Amino acid sequence: MSKAAVASQGLLTMQSLSTSEPVVSVNWLHANLREPDLKVLDASWYMPDERRNPVQEYQLPHMLPSKEAFAAAVSALGIENKDYIVVYDGKGIFSAARVWWMFRVFGHEKIWVLDGGLPRWRALGFDVESSVSNDAILKASAASEAIEEVYKGHRVELITFQTKFQPHLVWMMEQVRKNIDEQTYQHVDARSKARFDGVAPEPRKGIRSGHIPGSKCLPFPQVLDDSQMLLSADELKKILDQEGISVDRPVMVSCGTGVTACIVALGLHRLGKTDVPVYDGSWTEWVTIQDTPQCKENLETL
């Protein structure tokens, strides 16, 4: 087969990807890794109590940035709107789901999470690099600098990625408060049951545990199998039924700070619920504000 034919075949494989399916297999990525319009991102991030340093394993910003900062950072990484993106992390499916959600929030649908992540890639015996390339280091540094420049109010040149903000995928605190009364959306919390019930501490110092009124607990590991791969649609539906969560009603998700909620959103996406919003501030924002003297005083007068 000629090089042109191979390239054409690869392009057809890329274009046949469905955005209704949120993950791609390790085998698919291995077969398409050299496609010029495919960009692969390492989105590894770890909880504070894990005491790991993601700087050496690549690092991504945590909270949702402004659209200008996101566009500047993504452009600095060499990503364009025409690109297909596969994102992975070092735990299987964890923080990669957050980056998948962020790209969708800013209007990019051609993004998928690597099912099983780096552990699955290693398990199948595919090659890994033991050191970070100079190009990757320079791009990561440029992305960080671009974000800083935007937040300083400076203009960033060479923007290759244009955002189209999707507000329906992000919830703020006021929407959560309104939903407590109206119950239009089923509120699903992705934290552990013990944290949800207030009997285990939060990983962040000074944050008490508990849950937002009216929410239901679906710990994110329940949507993954033992290999940290996303459950099948049938298995996901069974889990939701067991927890009293209906796929026929709107769902919004939260967690501790908006990371693991995106894993549950990933699972719901596989079931056809492609418009699930994430409460970005999640429990950390909620309890921090609820515990302020002013908020407590206001609540007592209601």
Residues serving a catalytic function are: 255
Q: Contact 107/164 with Cβ under 8 angstroms?
A: yes
Task: Spell out the residues 6+ positions from residue 100 whose beta carbon is closer than 8 angstroms to its own.
Answer: 22, 87, 111, 112, 113, 262, 266
Write phi, then psi, for 31 (nearest 5 degrees). Answer: -75, -25
Pairing of strands 186-189, 170-171: unpaired
Pairing of strands 251-254, 111-114: unpaired
Two tokens at 299? 């609540």
CA distances from 297 to 21, 257, 292, 300 (A): 46, 25, 9, 5
